[in-house]
Amino acid sequence: MARTILIGAGGTGGHIFPGIAVADELVRRDAATRVVFAGTPRGLETRLVPKAGYALELLPILPLNGVGMLRTLGGLLVLPWGLLKSALVVLRLKPAAVLGIGGYAGGPITLIAALIGVRAVILEPNARPGFTNRVLRPFVDAAACAYEEARVSFGAKGVLTGNPVRGGFAALHDKPHRPPLTLLAFGGSQGSRVLNRAVVEALPYLPADLRIVHQTGPAMRDEVASAHERAGRASEVLPFLDDMEARVAGADLVVCRSGATTCAELTAAGKPSVLVPFALSADDHQRVNAAAMQAAGAARMVEERELTGESLARAIVETLETPGRLETMEAASRTLGRPDAAARVADLLGAARV
C-alpha cells in the first residue's frame, strides 16, 4: 500500500520551497508515495503547492507570535478549530510520517500527529529556532536542522541536515571572476524598500564597469529603474526573477536579505554575499543567520541600523576588489552548503533510499 507523507508548511516561500524539495525527493525514491501539504488559505502555498503537483489541505490557523496583541488574540480564538481540523485531516489521511516546517501553518498539524503516535519530524531552517519549533520540541521524534547552532538547542533530537533547496542550485559551478563583474541584488518576491533604496544610494560609489541586476518587487520597479538611469547605469532592473538559478549562476556577488531559504540557496551554490538582515524578522532570525554565515567567512553582514548607500557600497567594493576575497568566500560558502539536505530529511521521515 502506498505511503502518505503529510507536510505542514505555508506562509512564505522560505517555508514552502524546502517542503517541495523534500516532497520531490520522496517521490523520486518511490513514485507511489502520496505527499500532501497542509497550509492556510492566506499564504503562498495556495499557488506554489498545486503548481508543484501536490495536494493541499487548508486549515483555519492564524499566527500567534510577533503579530501584535489583537492578531495574537484572533489566533488564540481560532486555535481550537484549527486543532480539531488538523486532527480530522490526520485521521483521514493516516500518514506514515509528518514533516513540520516551522511557521504557524505547520504547528497544529505536526502537534496532533505527534500526540496520536505518527512519526513527527520538524525542519528548523534558521540558526535560531523559531517559536513554533520551540513549542513542538518536546513532542516530535527528530529535528532536522540547517545550522549547528540550532542542532545543539534540540539536544539528542537534533540532526544536522541542512535546509533543502531546489536542485539546480547545488549543480551550479564556480564562476570565473573576470571583468566586467556582475552584482545581483534582490529582496524577495515582493522586494525590499530598504534594500532597494540602499542599492540606489550606493550607485555613485560603485565601479563604473560593474554590471548590476536589481530585482525590486513590482511596487518599486519603475522608480528604481529611473534612479539607475539617472545614475548613468545600464542596469537590468526587474520586478521578479523567474530564473533565479540562472541569475545566481551569473553573479560574482549577491546582495540580499538573509532568510533561511536564501542562505541555503547561496551556500548550495557556493556564492559570496553581502547580507542585510530584515530588522523585524521573527526572533531576529535573519540577523542570526547572517552572523553565522559571516563567522564562517561566506558572507559580509551589514545590519539595517548601519545601512546607507555608502556603507553598502563599501562592503561591495571591498569584497570585489580585495584580491582572492571572492574565491575565499566561495569556498567558505560551499562548506556550509548541504546539497543533499532533502535526502537527509527524507531519511528522518523513514523513507528508504533508492
Q: Is the pTM of this model over 0.75?
A: yes
Q: Which residue has the cell 547552532?
A: 149
Give the percent of the chain with pLDDT over 70: 92
The pLDDT of residue 77 is 57
Helix/strand/coil for 123? strand
Q: Could you read off the pLDDT of 241-281 as tens digits, one per residue?
A: 878 899 999 999 999 999 988 999 999 999 999 999 999 88
Helix/strand/coil for 232? coil
The pLDDT of residue 83 is 72
Three cell numbers, residue 339: 546539497
Can you list the alpha helix ranges (DSSP code H) found in 166-239? 167-170, 193-202, 221-230
Phi, psi values for residue 4, rounded to 5°: -115, 130
Q: Could you read off the pLDDT of 60-74 as tens digits, one per residue?
A: 765 555 555 665 564
pLDDT means over runs of 10, the chain (354 residues): 88 84 95 93 85 89 55 54 79 96 81 94 89 92 91 95 85 89 90 95 97 95 97 95 90 95 92 95 87 95 97 98 96 91 94 56
Query: Quick check: bond before 277 cis, omega within 30?
Result: no
- Dist CA 115 CA 136 (whole Å): 11
The pLDDT of residue 79 is 59
- Dist CA 239 CA 223 (whole Å): 11
Give the percent of the chain with pLDDT over 90: 65
Burial class (CB in 10 A: 0-12, 13-18, 19+), 180: exposed
Q: What domains can you pick out in the chain, each with its CATH number?
A: 4-165+339-348 (3.40.50.2000), 169-336 (3.40.50.2000)
